[in-house]
Structure 1
Amino acid sequence: MGAQEPGPPADEPGPEAVARPPWRRWLRVLPLVALVLVSIGLVAGGAAQWFSLDRLLASRAWALGVVEEDRLRAMALASGLYIGIVVVSVPVSVFMTMLCGFLFGTVPGALLAISSSTTGAVIVFSIGRTAAGEWLLRNTGKRLNRLAAGFRRDAFSYVLFLRLLPLFPFWMTNLGPAIFGVPLRTFALATLIGISPGGFIYAATGARIEAVVAAHQDARAACLAAAGTDCERALSLRSVITPELVATLVALGALALLPVVVRRLRRSPKAVPCDD
């Protein structure tokens, strides 16, 4: 037998490690860091205050004029703005959906809002998965890994629930599934379906914003006639989001979790009768 050639020392880095220096791994995190910094800066700077019903009502004639001049361009601009808002996580998605409904009508506005919101969510999800997902799962404890495995088993139902019933900030529901290793296709489909009911509801509300304004003005006139002290209160989203709307989304969220509950019940061990 011929003598074997000596291999590289055990503590010597292999060709993969030499080809990928540590600083390149940090480059993957930079997009997420930049995204977080921009989001914090915009929220701290009061960007959410730029998107209010009062501002919309004050400029609604101008906005409708832009749509009449070139509808396709207006839709492209609205879509780009919506996607950007979702990517930087400014919490004004409800307002933007209502704006789409107001400018383009219930069905076109809802479809535009749903597609734009899904696109923005997929972008954030992709950044989070590329930058931090694998690293966090590799460097955290077994408890988070077990939680991630459980989330992945019922990923579609969990993401659907989070979309139907927005209990958590939108950025959290985008990055959480990315960190837990949810497949992109599952995330995108559950997001698309989950935001659709609310999208049509809010777009329909935006499409009838003139009726909401009339009701607000009637309430203001009645307040002034009764010598009220808070008659100049600004019109807010709380004025148009009714308890019935919230109850509808809660019911849909419960239905989204029903498959998870049924699956858990089927997996639960049955009681074994004891012998006498």
Structure 2
Amino acid sequence: MSDMTQTPPSSIRRYLPIVAIAVIATIGAFTLKDYLSFETLRDNREALLAFRDSNFVLTLAVFGLAYVAIVAFSFPGASAATLTGGFLFGTATGSLINVTAATIGATAIFLAARWGLGDRLGARLENSDGAVKQIKDGIDENQWSMLFLIRLVPAVPFFLANLIPSFLEVPLHRYVISTFLGIIPGTVVYTSVGAGLGEVFARGETPDLGIIFEPHIIGPILGLAALSAMPIVIKALRGKKDL
């Protein structure tokens, strides 16, 4: 009787990736927060630049892998890593490696969450009734718009933007494309701040990460968000006319 009530091994294995991410993320939150910081970059900047100049390709590869791990395991220090990318490689190359690594890391956590929880939760939402089903249907009908919105609106935490689509049966290709393109504006802003850190260090100051909320920067980003929301608005207006 007891054997019949036990969870099948295959079901347990489904949860291993997301459990591993949760455990490693928890450990990292307590052990890495003092290392993945602006202060660490400031104190080790000369050594980092010297290593980059002697081993550019290796530095690029190691940094990219480290960034993937930071995002995949939701470690603290993503902003510091983005600054570091700009500091080491400049705005153009730094933005490319930052966006690519962040997309790979986000895709890893997306797949882990979907494999462990997403399919079952998505099926439950699909078979539900009432408001929950209506919300899911609304998201399904406007997936591209919703995916870009959660990436472009600064109020949505990156971690949640990685997880939510995994529970809503979003196709992998849509997730990857919307993540890569959707994080470009904010990433370029922070990478450009990192590219100017040499002068900031020389003045003994700290970088202004609030720059993204400056009107001349947040305005175009919110404009892109509004553009992404247009299909949703148009569908809603057409629905009212049909009524």
Change (3 A) 1:258 1:175: same
Kept in 2, the 8 Å contact 1:156–1:190? The answer is yes
> Normalized per residue, which structure has more helix?
2
Q: Identity across aligned pairs (percent)?
A: 27
Deviation of the 1:161 alpha carbon:
1.2
Which range moves more in the overlay, 191-200 or 205-214? Answer: 205-214
Deviation of the 1:85 alpha carbon:
0.4
Kept in 2, the 8 Å contact 1:149–1:180? The answer is no
Match runs of 1:99-110 below 5 Å: 99-110=84-95
State the alpha-carbon separation in 1 of the partners of residues 195 and 23 from structure 2: 35
- Aligned mate of 2:118, from 110, 133, 141: 133
What letter corresponds to residue 163 of structure 2 in structure 1?
Answer: L
State the alpha-carbon separation in 1 of the partners of residues 14 and 179 from structure 2: 25
Which range moves more in the overlay, 256-265 or 242-251? Answer: 242-251
Match of 2:222 in 1: 250
Change (3 A) 1:23 1:101: same
* Mapped pair 1:50 → 2:50: no
State the alpha-carbon separation in 2 of the partners of residues 187 and 254 from structure 1: 19
State the alpha-carbon separation in 1 of the partners of residues 11 and 198 from structure 2: 53
Match of 2:107 in 1: 122
Alignment length, in residue pairs? 234
Change (3 A) 1:153 1:100: same
Kept in 2, the 8 Å contact 1:79–1:116? The answer is yes
Write out per-residue CA displacement over residues 12-69 of structure 1, whole angstroms, 9 at most, x where no aligned residue: xxxxxxxxx82312211121122112222322x1533322222211111101011101
Deviation of the 1:242 alpha carbon:
5.2
TM-score, length of structure 1 as denominator length: 0.77
Match of 1:35 in 2: 21
* Mapped pair 1:186 → 2:174: yes
Change (3 A) 1:239 1:268: closer
Write out per-residue CA displacement over residues 60-100 of structure 1, whole angstroms, 9 at most, x where no aligned residue: 11010111011110000000000000001124322212211
Structure 2 stretches lacking a partner, 5+ long: 1-6
What letter corresponds to residue 101 of structure 2 in structure 1?
Answer: S
Kept in 1, the 8 Å contact 2:36–2:76? The answer is no
Q: What is the aligned-residue RMSD (CA, Å)?
A: 2.3
* Mapped pair 1:162 → 2:150: yes
Kept in 2, the 8 Å contact 1:212–1:240? The answer is no
State the alpha-carbon separation in 2 of the partners of residues 124 and 198 from structure 1: 20
Bigger radius of gyration: 1
State the alpha-carbon separation in 1 of the partners of residues 106 and 220 from structure 2: 23
Kept in 2, the 8 Å contact 1:157–1:256? The answer is yes
State the alpha-carbon separation in 2 of the partners of residues 73 and 107 from structure 1: 18
